[in-house]
Amino acid sequence: MNTRPDIKSSTVAPDWTQIRSHFSVLENKTYLNSCSYGALATEVKEALQRYIRDREERGTDWNYWVERNESVRMAVATFLGADPDEIAVTASASAGINSVASALNFNQARNKVVISEFEFPTNAQIWYAQELRGAKVVRVPEKDGYIPVEHFESAIDDETLIVAVTQVCFRNGARLDIPAIAEVARQKGALLLMDGYQGFGTMDFDVHQAGVDFAVGGMLKYLLGTAGIGFLYVRESLIDSLVPTATGWFAQSDIFAMDTSGYNPSPTARRFEMGTPPVPNCYAAEAGLKIIEDIGLPAIEQRIGELTAAIISEAKKAGYALVVPEDPKRHGALITLRTHDENALVDILENQGIVTSCRSGNLRISPHFYNNEDDIDSLFRALREQKHLLV
């Protein structure tokens, strides 16, 4: 199995100022919205331009394009601590979850799906759709902006087939204790699927050590790529026993066999893929993942930890109502403040060149490694002028 030697071996402190210069949006914007879409790096822009040149010069080159898809698979495996054969390259997190769901049998005693109140719509709606196939969906409630492991212990039982939960909540930034929840699921004989979209690229996370059975994510946020491409991790020991019915030609054992006489899925996690890969998005994803690998997840996690701690400190000094838990083990890269009018506040900040976002009454502030203390100062100077909009 891949132990991520490249990511964990760097001992040289990154030059954050030099790295910041690769993101041109930061020259004229205070960009604190990586939870929605990561800032565009020079390398990613150049990769997309290279795709256009390749189209113009080569016309078609499927062998090379499939190699780009495989490069993305390898890079994802590296930062997840997985084997490449455990990774499916998908069009989205939704595609990955749907493929897993299609391989599950709900017409049995184990038919319960446990989700939480923290889920992004995708990871709720897909499982509710499975009620048409016999699934029973149970939602674990939050308490004071968090969901303790004990709430999952009460919900997961001998009827539970799969627990499908987010790592970091998109609404308030709360971070669940995934390894602990995975252990509860394992003790009850249930599977666990983690939606890591709001966490991947911000922290050093190993899928094997965490004990998850499946994990989905995408490239458009903290992984610096673009929309239209994601991934699915499937624990190796499960692959043979799961046969997706949501499928396509890239899921077949031999992609280029063009066999129309039957269904012969790949022996690897590629069986969870579907149709033609998003070729230009592969170029962008490959470039974004290379940036993450070069810097190293431990350094990125430390940098984001410093920035989020500074945001929390400034918010407390100003007397603003934090929605996210203060404990760094209980929040991700997304920090949230309660507002009286979330949309008005986001619009006012946008007019001042400060890019944020909002959900459920909360102002979302999401730094990445390319941000710095000046960005935080600019944000809080602007917020002081709009204190009437903050709780």
Residues in the chain: 391
What's the pLDDT at 12? 78
In the CATH hierarchy, which fold is given to the domain comprising 47-293? Aspartate Aminotransferase; domain 2 (3.40.640)
Q: What is the CATH number of domain 5-41+296-389?
A: 3.90.1150.10
Instruction: Give the mean model confidence (pLDDT) for residues 129-146.
Output: 96
Position 355 pLDDT exceeds 80: yes
Per-residue pLDDT, averaged over 141-148, amounts to 95
In the predicted structure, residue 9 carries a pLDDT above the cut 50:
no
Looking at residue 5, its pLDDT comes to 38
- The yes-or-no verdict on residue 35 having pLDDT over 50 is yes
Q: Does 37 score more than 80 pLDDT?
A: yes
| Percent of the chain with pLDDT strictly greater than 70 | 97
Please report, for the chain, the start and end positions of each structural domain, with discontinuous segments joined by +.
5-41+296-389, 47-293
Whether the CA torsion 360, 362, 363, 364 is positive or negative: it is negative
Residue 169 CA, chain-centre distance (Å), reads: 11
8 has pLDDT over 70:
no
Tell me what pLDDT residue 11 has.
Answer: 63
Percentage of residues in the chain having pLDDT higher than 90: 94
pLDDT at 256: 86
With 70 as the cut, is the pLDDT of residue 4 above it? no
- Over residues 238-252, the mean pLDDT reads 96
Task: Supply the pLDDT for residue 386.
Answer: 97
Question: Is the per-residue pLDDT at 93 higher than 60?
Answer: yes
Encode pLDDT of 256-266 as tens digits.
899 999 999 99
Q: What share of the chain is helix, strand, coil (3-state, %, to 5)?
A: 45, 15, 40
Mean pLDDT of 294-319: 98
Structure tokens at 125: 């709606």
With a cut of 90, say whether residue 10 has pLDDT above it: no
Kindly write down the DSSP assignment for every residue of 95-108, as one continuous string.
HHHHHHHHT---SS
Average pLDDT on 92-110 reads: 97
Strand partners, 163: 114, 192
- How high does pLDDT run on average in the chain? 95
